Each structure stands twice: as C-alpha cells, then as structure tokens.
Amino acid sequence: MKFTLSTVSKCSGRLGVLAGIDRLPAVSIQTPGFIFHTKGGSVPHLSKEAMQHVSSTEPTFLHLSISNTLHMQEAIKASRTTIAEFIAQSNSATLLFPRDPSESAIPGVPEKESLPIYTRYGRRNIGVNEYMEMVEAFRPDAYTPLYDADTDESSSKKREQKSLDRTEKFVEQSLDWHRKSDVLRSCALIGPVVGGYNEKLREKSIEFLRNTDAPYVGYLIDGLHMNGASVAYMDGKAAVPVVTNVCKQLPEEKVRFCFGAYDAKLVLDLVASGVDVFDTSYVYVKAAQEHRALAFSFDVKSTPNEHTTELDTTDAQLAEDFSPLVAGCACYTCQKHSRAYVHHLHNTREMLGPILIMIHNLHHYLEFFKAIRHHVANDTLPVLRQHLDRQTSLPPYILKEEKVVIPTATVLKDDTEAMKEPTDVSQDKQSKKQRA
Ligand SMILES: [Zn+2]
C-alpha cells in the first residue's frame, strides 16, 4: 500500500491518493476520503447489489474489525483463502483493526495481557498471539498491530499512561511475529498512535513507533473516544488540538487514519488538522440506530439557514410528505421514494427502511467528501465549515425505550452474568444493538 501526497494547503488540510496494493494495482481512493465501515466484511444493511445504487464502483477499501470477523477464522483457515476472498470482496482492499468504530468499548479494567472484545459469542479477551494468528489466517491488505486505545477525554492520566505502556508491549510482540512470518510479508502495517489527551504521551507514542523501525504505510490516531453512537455528539474542542499536534509530528508523506462516527463539522476540523482517511460508521449510526437521513448542505452557494442537518424519518409529520428525503439528491432512494414511504417503512418495521436510508446517507457522505476535496484544493475549507455552522441541528437522538434499572438484589441467583453488574436495561439493549 502506498500513499501519494499531492497538495498541502495553508489552512485546509491536504490532498492525496491511497493506492499501491500489490494484488489490486488499479484500486485507489482520493483523500480526504473514507474507507467503508463493515460488519463481518459487509457494509451494514447493504447487499452487493444494493451497493451498486450508492456508487457504480464496488467499495474499494473496507474497514474490518475483529469483533465481527473473529468467528470466521476457522473457516478461513480451513478453506485456505484470504478474508477478501472469503467475504467475496476480492476486488476490495481489506484493512483490519481491533475495534469497530460503531461499537462502544467495554467499560472496566482490562486484563494485563489482552484486549476485551465483544463477539457474537460474548466477551473474549484477545492477546497478541490470538490476534496475530487471526491476522495470519485473514491475510488482510493492511492491519494495525494489537494496541490499547480505550481512552477518552475523561480518562485519568494513569489510564492514558497504561494505554501507552500496553500498546508498546503489544506492538513490539506483534512486530516480532510480523517479522518472522512469511505469510504476512505482503500485509502492510499501520502504526497506532495512542496516549489519550495527554500531549506528552502522544509524543512518546510517536517516538516509540519511530524507534520500532517498522515499515508503516501510515498511522492511525486512536484513543480520542470510546467508539459507539455517542461519538456523533462529540464537539471535538479538546480532540482537534491533540490531532493537530500529532499530525505535525508524523512524517508528512504517510497517510493518517482517524476513525469514529464524527459529525460533518468535526470531520472538517480533523481534515484541517491533517487527517486523510475516515470511515463510514457515522452513516451507519445515523441510518440504522437513529433512523435519520443526512441532510446537511455542503453547497456553499445555497442559503445555509434553510437547511436542517438531518431528517428524522420517525417524525409523524412526514406521514403525508411526498417529497424526497433531501430535495435535489441524486441517490436511488431520493429518486424513487418519498419521505412518507420511508416513514411508513419505519412504522411497520420493514427491513427496507434502514436499507433506503443507508443508500441515501452513503451517497450524501460520498458527495460531501467530494466537496471537501474541492475546498481543500482551493484552500477554502473554512468557508465550508462556516456554511455548516449556520445550519440547524436536530436535538441529540435519545433511545425511545423505557429506562428500567434492575437492582442487584432482585436478580436471580443463577443469573451470574447479570449479577456481576447491575444493568441499565435500555443502555444494555442499545449496546447490544450496536454490537449486532
Ligand atoms: Zn438521497
């Protein structure tokens, strides 16, 4: 994998191309851009055929995470295929990471030698050996060594330090494995930069990666949040300076990844900081969990205060609204269906509902990134940022379920899982939904 930087603007980030995959020489993405967030290797809710409605080309770069691909390991090993072949995406580049940006990290103190992962079979602690065995079986086009970046703005200094210490240990062990492995020779490495909101620890993390002398194709800036749907409401005031500083210290010619369900404004701020590649977990969180269609305007010639950033498709007022989700949108959903129909699909819990919203949201996101690249090229990203600032946002999404807290004392004795932690049922349902 190779990154070619073409333009660095004064106040609007940089333009480049990510390509150079040995087995897919024709596949590339322009940056700032995104890789497709997947569950088990598929874009959630969209079949390959449905993806054709989003873009005429197949998804070129896929974000895979171990929580929803771990169960494939034995079958992949037995069939002697790569993960790309196994998920029938041979024409797409596969990038493997420990965390799914749409799933909240598991709270609590992690084990010393492993990273806790929620899989379809429950919680698993993944150590370096298990992780690297999985990487060897999958043979993705690129991956990060195992690391611990379960930190956010509220993490203590102690936790941030621990994240760095554990990451250093995990990365060293992963690299040892990588160097000895013949199978992994064609897999590119991405260096994980951790250290939470502590600038000194971030510097140390970068220095550590430099000293490992590994041929990283790029870097992943992680540890800014605990992933999941709440990231969509992160304001980024504290995160952006951290990312800016990290980007200043990273080698300019290397690609920088930064994953999470960031809203459009935060994406622009991170682009201006120097981030090149994002993922589409925001689109998924909005479509599948919040039933919201992206409607923010990125046409700076339009009047900004006429726009609302999202459309709540559960809103009863849409029942007789036969206009498209977003006026002027060229996506399949907006061309063929109305707000009233999508609202009706939600009411009748039809599976087609999230599919149609996903198609629109992905299309909207693709067009948004085209606009970003246009503004980076003209060094006018601040104009687009101001345009977004003047648009009206919907109130944050709240899970519309009754909150029921089960006190520990009433839990049956044989229900050992529930006895460990008194649970807030609505939250638990939400996190299960996120993991699904
Ligand atoms: Zn549309």
State whether 286 and 341 are in the same domain.
Answer: no
State whether 302 and 250 are in the same domain.
Answer: no
State whether 250 and 354 are in the same domain.
Answer: no
376 C-alpha vs ligand 1 centroid, how far in Å? 24
State whether 229 and 335 are in the same domain.
Answer: no
Q: Are 202 and 161 in contact (CB under 8 A)?
A: no
Does the annotation flag 63 for ligand binding? no
The number of domains in the chain is: 2
The last residue of one of the domains, among 290, 314, 334, is 290
Cα–Cα distance between 199 and 416 in angstroms, integer? 41
How much is the pTM? 0.90
State whether 48 and 23 are in the same domain.
Answer: yes
325 C-alpha vs ligand 1 centroid, how far in Å? 6
Q: What is the pLDDT of residue 400?
A: 63
State whether 255 and 295 are in the same domain.
Answer: no
Cα–Cα distance between 69 and 38 in angstroms, integer? 10
* Helix or strand holding residue 245 (H, E): helix 239-249
Q: Are 178 and 200 in contact (CB under 8 A)?
A: no
State whether 281 and 341 are in the same domain.
Answer: no
333 C-alpha vs ligand 1 centroid, how far in Å? 5
Cα–Cα distance between 381 and 376 in angstroms, integer? 6
Q: What is the pLDDT of residue 323?
A: 97
The last residue of one of the domains, among 267, 290, 313, is 290
329 C-alpha vs ligand 1 centroid, how far in Å? 5
Q: Are 189 and 142 in contact (CB under 8 A)?
A: yes
5 C-alpha vs ligand 1 centroid, how far in Å? 32
The last residue of one of the domains, among 246, 274, 290, is 290
Does the annotation flag 329 for ligand binding? yes
Does the annotation flag 334 for ligand binding? yes
What is the span of the domain harbouring residue 172?
2-290
Does the annotation flag 11 for ligand binding? no
Tens place of pLDDT for every residue, the chain, 436 residues?
A: 999 999 998 888 999 999 989 899 999 999 999 999 999 999 999 988 888 888 776 668 999 999 999 999 999 999 999 999 999 999 999 999 999 999 998 766 678 899 999 888 888 999 999 999 999 999 999 999 999 999 999 999 999 999 999 999 999 999 999 999 999 999 999 999 999 999 999 999 999 999 999 999 999 999 999 999 999 999 999 999 999 999 999 999 999 999 999 999 999 999 999 999 999 999 999 999 999 999 999 999 998 878 899 999 999 999 999 999 999 999 999 999 999 999 999 999 999 999 999 999 999 999 999 999 999 999 999 999 999 999 998 989 987 654 444 333 333 333 333 334 334 444 444 444 444 4
Q: Is residue 411 part of a domain?
A: no
239 C-alpha vs ligand 1 centroid, how far in Å? 31
State whether 20 and 125 are in the same domain.
Answer: yes
CA torsion sign, 369 to 370 to 374 to 377?
positive
Q: Is residue 413 part of a domain?
A: no
361 C-alpha vs ligand 1 centroid, how far in Å? 7
Q: Is residue 428 part of a domain?
A: no
Closest listed residue to residue 263, CA positions, set 236, 237, 287, 245: 236
State whether 9 and 45 are in the same domain.
Answer: yes
